[in-house]
Structure 1
């Protein structure tokens, strides 16, 4: 089920505002996650042997960018096509990676909170209860598609 035209417009306009600085927002997204659940860093193998601060870790930056862009693009695709798509990967691959990392419902919920807070901080002049609902619904669709393969 796709969300309304108004919700789609909110999501598309928000993503268009964030795209140019997506790398910054992506890193903030993951740093917010690690602020809420510090132990989440243990779920990322590329962080295990790193002595770099998280905000300077190039592998984290790349991963964060990939996840943030995929999530935002998936949100816009829900509006444009009525379904979620994930670019150059599959839901089965995403599900396998999440299962391997031991991701549970609580992790998905914290990630949702971190995403919404990041968007709110990125574009406070556009933020509204309606925008929060639109992004929440899009995220929920994405997670449902991943979970269906887990």
Structure 2
């Protein structure tokens, strides 16, 4: 299934809101991932030994900001392999965190239709990242 023009416009418009404060929303995104799935801390060398969700960790802030700008090939270089994107595991956690982050960023503009648009875009992005990771690791 493809993304409709309307869905694309909704995602672009809401992304413009998120871009107004990328540091805040990218950190919120990663914080939500860690709240939903605390074991995800083990995927980050700078968080492995922490016992709590590090809301003010400078390395997490820097990583969060960078992630919003990177390509799937970087995931391979950091050993984030295909199992991390499996539908029943991290894929759902990351999707939930992203949708919650954008929802919070756009506030009252959020709707079921926008949720559907972001869900579709996320699903296609996750598929593209997985495909890129397979190409890079081949």
The TM-score with structure 2 as length reference comes to 0.81
Q: Give yes or no for contact 1:112–1:139 (8 Å, CA) kept in 2.
A: yes
Measured on the aligned residues, the alpha-carbon RMSD in Å equals 2.3
1:64 aligns with 2:45: no
- Residue 51 of structure 1: CA displacement? 8.3
TM-score (structure 1 length as normaliser): 0.75
May I ask how many residue pairs the two structures share in their alignment?
A: 130
Alpha-carbon distance between aligned partners in 2 of 1:29 and 1:103, rounded to the nearest angstrom: 17
Number of the residue aligned with 1:43: 43
In 2, the alpha carbon distance for the partners of 1:20 and 1:42 equals: 30
Does residue 1:93 correspond to 2:74, yes or no? Answer: yes
Does the 8 A contact of 1:11 with 1:135 survive in 2? Answer: yes
Find the counterpart in structure 1 of residue 93 from structure 2. Answer: 110
Q: Which runs of 5+ in 1 are unaligned?
A: 71-85
| 2:109 counterpart of 1:126 | yes
Does the 8 Å CA contact 2:34/2:53 hold for their aligned counterparts? no
Q: CA deviation at 1:34?
A: 0.7
Say yes or no: does 1:138 pair with 2:138.
no
Q: By how many angstroms is 1:124 displaced?
A: 1.7
The runs of 5 or more residues in structure 2 that have no matched partner are: none
